[in-house]
Chain A
């Protein structure tokens, strides 16, 4: 499908971009924001229970997550975690630097800061946060980022929040989280659904993501920026896809969701055409649900399909069972495509995986499927007969731990019934570069309640003065300037989002050659880093000084990389490094003498040069003169020979 096809579907996409901030401590405690990969020092176990919201209601997600009955294990480290991270100490004051950076980002997106910041608790019962809620606060509302002709990106709100734990393992009813990432400060930027096609969704994410990075005060590296995308089509629902890790994936993932919603609406239409109604599927007490233990049909045989739970033969008496659920009138729809290689059965499968914790895949098989992997046509007939399935009915087989089968059947039935509404409200997770699967029911405002552990924070004029003094120039303006300086796109792309951007700005403002500075900070830095030179440790002021030495003619630009290498390797300042390398420029006269000598010694190369193959002779010349004399002047001299 093309972008214009998505526009016809009424495709809409908004983003929630999470960006970790570069701070010295965590948001609500004084622990360092560092990731750990060594074995954890301690573990603790917790369980989460749903609680009432401030408005007196339970949140749907919270109840769903309670159904999963998970044992949550937290891993932590004696030296970089404290009792705050395991919810045994109330929060300390909010990190001021984090608030400042998040306000810089908010202002750079044209948002108005709130007068007073109130920390709220957003419930998460999946265990990602040991308290069971994330501390989060709105810092600003309603902004605009210029985008393209006639179109801005509209910002709905920006909040500051603590990051959640990293998931280490999730198997069945056991889930393990590591608390190292917990409470690292991040901003969440929420946009209006301004993207009308998948390509625009990608553009929006890039524009905003790069804008945040151009502050040079955000964290980089894997997981430091995470995008949640909200997609809907006409007649569909807002569906949130969590944690898209790279900009490149946004167009394919959002396109996939558009197609999925389009197909779910087709399924809905087909159900209506068949004259079916959700009223016949009762889901309060599941009185109308027909489901059976059908283990005995397969007992005594080795069924390859079930081998993820049944080792060897299927046994009637064991901790594992095969169940069947009747889905009346759904024949042919269970195998209906949803997006890419995903079918409607994968919608059911996702719910069973997450809520019933039957997470070894495949976990479902349907009467729409071709007999396979030890399930025969006769088996399906037998199951259908036991269920009393009629010609137009479909049924689903599910297998796994006995105690999870009831929940599994109910989830299948519930999700099948939701086909009548078309697109259910939910949060989805990425399972490949382009496909997604159920994660949880989309949480509502009912899971928010005030955090009473700390008083509200008034945003003072003094703080805003500090913030305004640090606003970055929009990267797209810089982009234009850099293009004028003939810096190629691939170098700009790296530079405008790099930590070295401020050095670039200072050096260029001081009169240095923008192209030299850009190439040095991007390309030379990359080469030298690969060679093991710690260029990142060179102070910014030394770099600016070095670039100025070039403009003042103290050294030639060709020598910059060699100076940097020595500065990095031996922790020297630029003056000492230049001295040590003996690379003060030589006079034109000496250079000419030297070039003539080389030409004399290599008459064959001079011949080639004159025939147009200039490389070999210039190479020999620059090998001697590099760093002492200008390359372009040397070329002129050779040419004049």
Chain B
């Protein structure tokens, strides 16, 4: 572990601390200019060389320029005991057992002062201390698998997750929650939808858009919603459980292959695209919007297919794209490419030749639409037909990111073009739907009241 005597300090500020033998968390009196200021020396977040950060008795923090400091006196250390109160999680034999798998998301958390990042609180005891309502719902067991931010999730983590899900199911839990950072939650949800098949219990991904170090956090409510869903919901599918509106009202349950993060900061950032959400959970009550739900079962049987092929990519087409990009992907030995095309699934003519070449070299290419909503329709225009003839396989209304996840997974199991194409276009978990309902295209779903009310009023 790194020495954190001078946590985050550098340059003149660090020299001053070393010279005066002052450590972070010391209670100090600083004389600067005509001022004498008392407080606790706090760790410093990176990016500044010149200032000490002092927490004064009033609770306010200020920065003092190292060069202005005339003297510092230390009066002992007062290290923060920043811990969520840990209480023993009560066990009730009548309640269902739910396991929460941790990947490093921010459900319950505390601050790291150096980076300003949020560190998760995760043991059942910590969770009970932070969200005591959980004990009224289920018996909770937690397993911290990794401590990574969501952007660092990848094939290794997906595979480990899938294996742990199998283990938990076989041990007889009634449902599984997965705490996950929200940025890439929809990728993991899609991958797990393919890796874990025929689960008898709900697999619920959950995170928060406002970390629990703030009073207005959505963390407690999404956690309560997801544990409820894992314990009692009838849907044995991979789902994302996040706020349905920005109000503290209910969570939507989104299918793992149809969900996407659509806003960088709103609470109700997750939307089901091209369909309506599977259902919603509000105060422990479920409303299902979909009829074709895979039902919960009593057995402990589940199949996992955890393999993955790394050499794949999404090619996000834009006007004037230089064919070089695709050429270099061929040269670099990529095995599969998801094209996110314009409109119904198009790219410009200069790309035809490299596409032809890629096809000839056995690279698998699939078309999805960057409109996100709607289907590829490659017979409508010449461009589409030209691409089809060069081996590009359309993926209907599969979302580009989901297509990426499915291709990596599928290539991990099958390499031959014919069975691969078959695997790609046959839906496993609603990643391609046979029809798009009228209310499937609602960007504001959940943002302005329930979907149906919104449609009734505005359409």
Contact = CB atoms under 8 A, between A and B. Distances in A.
B60 A136 contact: yes
Interface in A421-474: 444-450, 452, 455-456, 458
Nearest to B217: A49
B65 interface: yes
A146 B249 CA distance: 54
Contacts of B59: 120, 122, 444-448
Interface residues of B, number: 52
Contact of B214 (A51, A446, A456, A458): A51
Interface residues on A, range: 35 or more
A54 B53 CA distance: 14
Interface stretch (A25-33, A81-89, A518-526): A81-89
A51 B217 contact: yes
Contact of A456 (B51, B213, B267): B51
B147 interface: no
Contacts of A447: 59
Contacts, number: 146
Main secondary structure of the interface of B (DSSP, over half): loop
A336 interface: no
A133 interface: yes
Given A45-B248, A114-B64, A138-B62, A450 B216 contact: no
Interface string A128-143: 0011110011100110
B60 A125 contact: no
B414 interface: no
Nearest to A115: B65
Given A121-B214, A131-B215, A90 B265 contact: yes
A120 B113 CA distance: 13
Nearest to B214: A132
A48 B56 CA distance: 26
B81 interface: yes
A157 B56 CA distance: 11
Given A55-B82, A452-B116, A114 B216 contact: no
A445 B55 CA distance: 10
Nearest to A66: B215
A449 B37 contact: no
A83 B265 contact: yes
Contact of A116 (B62, B84, B245): B62
Contacts of B220: 49
Nearest to B267: A88
Contacts of A116: 48, 51, 53, 62-65
Contacts of B215: 48-51, 62, 123-125, 131-133
A44 B53 contact: no
A85 to B, nearest CB: 12
A224 B65 CA distance: 34
Contacts of A57: 81
Interface of A: 44-52, 54-57, 62, 83, 86-90, 112, 114-118, 120-125, 130-133, 136-138, 141-142, 157, 159, 444-450, 452, 455-456, 458
Interface of B: 32-35, 37, 42, 45, 47-48, 50-51, 53, 55-65, 68, 78, 80-84, 110-111, 113, 116, 210, 212-217, 220-221, 245-249, 263, 265-267
11 contacts: A44-B247, A47-B248, A52-B110, A54-B113, A117-B63, A118-B53, A131-B215, A136-B60, A137-B60, A138-B56, A159-B60
Q: 10 tightest CB-CB pairs across the interface, nearest first?
A: A132-B215, A116-B63, A448-B59, A445-B59, A452-B116, A56-B81, A115-B65, A118-B61, A56-B82, A132-B216
Given A87-B210, A123-B215, A448-B61, 6 more contacts: A52-B83, A141-B35, A157-B60, A450-B111, A455-B47, A458-B50
